[in-house]
Structure 1
């Protein structure tokens, strides 16, 4: 009788452990990258990245950077870059691929005027972009809000 009671107890404990593992694997989990859910029936993992819901008020960002004088970090550069692309788009230059000399001069004048708002020169802006191109690329790739902003600008994929 004792032997069958032990076997019965072990079977119940095993069953409870298996059920607990099943419920844990099917429940919604949280990680530092966002929430995810494992669906064993479809053999998929659904990931919800919390940062993808983030938005930036670009006018507020422009106001925050007004008169900054120099680019202090990659985030500031990326914000100014997005704002510059929006300015190009607003003036109809973002979709063009071939520029006449006159158009190039207009774009350069527009760029100088635009960057003056932030207190930086076009050469400072370009130099920072060249010196930090890898960090800028990584920042954009790791921040969906910047990716979305650049993609949403008409013609941003055309160069």
Structure 2
């Protein structure tokens, strides 16, 4: 039997080969379609979390670098200042889109890394900032801690 000859179907009717395959276009995953898509809320939360981490870094560096009537913390206590900066930089791990796609950790891993940075910054705040919390420097460093905490709270990795 050749391909052009009619073939019997299960119902007994015969259909020619080209007619039996005429079902229309088959949708392929990843094809462009005209249906409206909703915006993924994780995109907004990751941008918000990234913005809060950047604000936290800026506030921290202002609090550590400005004089405020005395020596800056960077010259007075450089190891603590470096520790606080490194802890705040760990907050960037909460935004997994900043990492290369081949080495991206899971959302839970990224959140745990960022949470470790938040705990380290909180320890810095208790041990170093708490005695001077009533000053302008204390305000900036407290705001940096609050921004980093808000970044973890609103970040997409928390929900993942």
Instruction: Tell me if TM exceeds 0.5.
Output: no
More strand by share: 1
Larger RCO, structures 1/2 (Cα 8 Å, 6+ apart):
2
After TM superposition, the score normalised by the length of structure 1 is 0.26
After TM superposition, the score normalised by the length of structure 2 is 0.26
Larger radius of gyration: 2
